[in-house]
Amino acid sequence: MQRVLVVEDSKVVQQVLRHLTAQYLDVAVDFAWSLAECQEHVEKYDYSLALVDLTLPDAPNGEVAKYTLSKAIPTVVLTSKIDEYKRQQMLEDGVVDYVIKDNRDSYHYAVKLVSQLLRNQGCKALIADDSMLSRSLMKQMLEKQLFDVTTANDGQQALEILKADPDIKLLMTDYAMPTMDGFELVKAVRNFRGRDDLAVIGLSGAGKHGLSARFIKYGANDFLTKPFMNEEFHCRVLQTMEQLSLIADIKESAFRDHLTGLYNRRYFYQYAEKLLKNQNQNNTLALLDVDFFKNINDTFGHEGGDQALKQVGSLIRSTFANFTVARVGGEEFAIVLPDIDLARAREYLEAFRKKMASYDFSISDKSCTITASIGLAEFQNTNLKDAMRVADKALYEAKSKGRNCIG
């Protein structure tokens, strides 16, 4: 679990940061007022990142940033003013970035920055550049932003690395390289990785602005002109990655059912099938429908019904954690069991049916029992819709047999 430490001595600013971190960060966040308190926290927990105020009563000269950096905690600094000397010193000390507290938006920016850095953690980046100096400088800078960095000496090598590793999320590529230049690399990469799946930032030499525009035309998300300033590099990379994250969030929410957090019907038909494409074995589809759900709504109201659906959803999800589970209708759930034949699937689902029937559901603080009827369909590389028809028929039989059983 990632954990963030915020060190800030102003009550008002801390309050703002508490509010924003609760809104934007899905990780544990600790707050400290002073260097002494910061040290206590650091001794107790492992931190992924620290957001620290440069001037504290017991640490007036940035000692807190020096301390967190000495403990190998990537650190973002909050400062009310900055001069060139201070800026240079902070960058030399190794802070990831600094945020100037001169307007209301600064805190917003700082927290969004922390959020993106946490998302970068462990995210793979590739640098393609034939200059060793340039490669190692950018590697250092990307590592500061918590990326896991690989390098390539030319475009051809970069392309091979990208083909072999679909988890790479950022490519920084120079233009002039032997064997394959940056444009050729970007064009080739875009044949198998889209703009919203792999961020590409093109690099071009000073005075060659035409190159930057062509980079974008060939499919780069952004470009940087060499030599660049530290801040410019960080901003461009962060903004590009933020766009990628936003698109990923939108896609994710479009495929999720808001009530249960499970995949929705749309995802189920678009993607569950693709997961099965390369399988030759027998797969099974299970369709599960809550029994007499209308009665639950009638007894506890629609909100109570929603609570029941949430609990049923989470019971299915935790039991079938390794499988694709979706809410495909009001009180209907589907589970795809790849490479599992009908007989084995029946055992799994029978065990689940019993577990659910004896589970202590709690609706509006009242304990109650909920059962489900289940239909199964075995299929082999067939259309999920066909399998759905067979499972639906089996489900109908289970309902006719009296419910709380497998059809």
Ligand X SMILES: Nc1nc2c(ncn2[C@@H]2O[C@H](COP(=O)(O)OP(=O)(O)OP(=O)(O)O)[C@@H](O)[C@H]2O)c(=O)[nH]1
Binding of ligand X by 154 (CB under 6 A): no
Binding of ligand X by 289 (CB under 6 A): yes
CA 387 to CA 379: how far, in whole Å? 6
CB of 169 to ligand X, least distance (A): 35
- Using DSSP's 3-state secondary structure scheme, residue 53 falls into strand
Q: Are 319 and 334 in contact (CB under 8 A)?
A: no
Output 5 or 376, the one with its CB closest to ligand X. 376
172 φ/ψ sector (left φ>0, alpha ψ -120 to 50, else beta): beta
Binding of ligand X by 399 (CB under 6 A): yes
Give the contact letters, 319-358, x = binds to ligand X (CB under 6 A), - = no: -----------xx---------------------------
Q: Are 35 and 12 in contact (CB under 8 A)?
A: no
Output 184 or 306, the one with its CB closest to ligand X. 306
| Of 268-276, 294-302, 348-356, 378-386: span binding ligand X (CB under 6 A) | 294-302
Binding of ligand X by 371 (CB under 6 A): no
Q: Which residue of 33, 292, 359, 361 would you call a contact of ligand X, by CB under 6 A?
A: 292
Cα 363–Cα 368–Cα 373 angle in degrees, nearest 5: 105
Hey, which residues between 108 and 137 contact ligand X (CB under 6 A)? none
E strand or H helix at 5: strand 3-7
Q: Is the peptide bond between 227 and the residue preceding it cis, with omega within 30 degrees of 0?
A: yes
CA 154 to CA 152: how far, in whole Å? 6
Binding of ligand X by 261 (CB under 6 A): no
Hey, which residues between 304 and 323 contact ligand X (CB under 6 A)? 305-306, 309
Binding of ligand X by 403 (CB under 6 A): yes
The DSSP-derived string for 57-87 is TTBTTSHHHHHHHHTT--EEEEES---HHHH
CB of 306 to ligand X, least distance (A): 5
Q: Are strands 28-32 and 361-363 parallel, antiparallel or unpaired?
A: unpaired
Q: Are 221 and 200 in contact (CB under 8 A)?
A: yes
Closest CA to 353 of 272, 298, 290: 290
CB of 324 to ligand X, least distance (A): 21
Q: Which residue of 75, 291, 324, 333 would you call a contact of ligand X, by CB under 6 A?
A: 291
Output 53 or 289, the one with its CB closest to ligand X. 289
Output 123 or 363, the one with its CB closest to ligand X. 363
- Which pairs count as long-range contacts for 55-62, CB under 8 Å and 24+ apart, including other chains? 55/79, 55/80, 56/7, 56/9, 57/9, 58/34, 59/34, 59/35, 62/86, 62/89, 62/90, 62/93
E strand or H helix at 325: strand 324-327
CB of 342 to ligand X, least distance (A): 23
| Of 113-121, 201-209, 272-280, 289-297: span binding ligand X (CB under 6 A) | 289-297
Instruction: Determine the size of the site formed for ligand X (CB under 6 A).
Output: 16
Output 97 or 291, the one with its CB closest to ligand X. 291
CB of 293 to ligand X, least distance (A): 3
Residues that bind ligand X (CB under 6 A): 259, 289-294, 297, 302, 305-306, 309, 330-331, 399, 403
